[in-house]
Amino acid sequence: MTDFGVGMTPSQVARVFDRFWRADPARKRTTGGTGLGLSIALADTKLHNGWLQLVSSPKKGTTFRITLPRKQNVLFTQSPLPLGRSRS
């Protein structure tokens, strides 16, 4: 999934998969989420021996990619495909 929004700083990228962490702590829980979505996505991806990657640049956007094995009992030690973005 790619968006072309505000992107994330390196310090935000380092924490984005932490439970209950939110990039904007000023947002209310009723409208801004709980900060669990990406930590659950990462845990579920690992449960299925997959790979969850992200690339983000401030003011340019963010890309997330989940790669899951097609066969059971396959374990990725690294992503089979590089995650890069080209923006014209």
pLDDT digits (tens, 9 = 90+) for 13-54: 999 999 998 887 666 666 678 889 999 999 999 998 888 999
Look at residue 18 and tell me if it is in a domain.
yes
Q: How much is the pLDDT for 40?
A: 95
| DSSP-assigned letters across all residues of 41-79 | HHHHHHHTT-EEEEEEETTTEEEEEEE--SSTT---SS-
Angle at 13 between CA 29 and CA 69, to 5 degrees: 100
Return the CATH number at 16. Answer: 3.30.565.10
Look at residue 46 and tell me if it is in a domain.
yes
Domain range holding 63?
2-24+33-67
For the chain, percent of residues with pLDDT exceeding 90: 50
Average pLDDT over residues 69-80: 73
Average pLDDT over residues 51-65: 93
Q: Which of 36, 69, 63 is nearest to 50 (CA)?
A: 69
Q: How much is the pLDDT for 60?
A: 93
In this model, does residue 76 exceed pLDDT 80? no
How many domains, in total, are found in the chain? 1
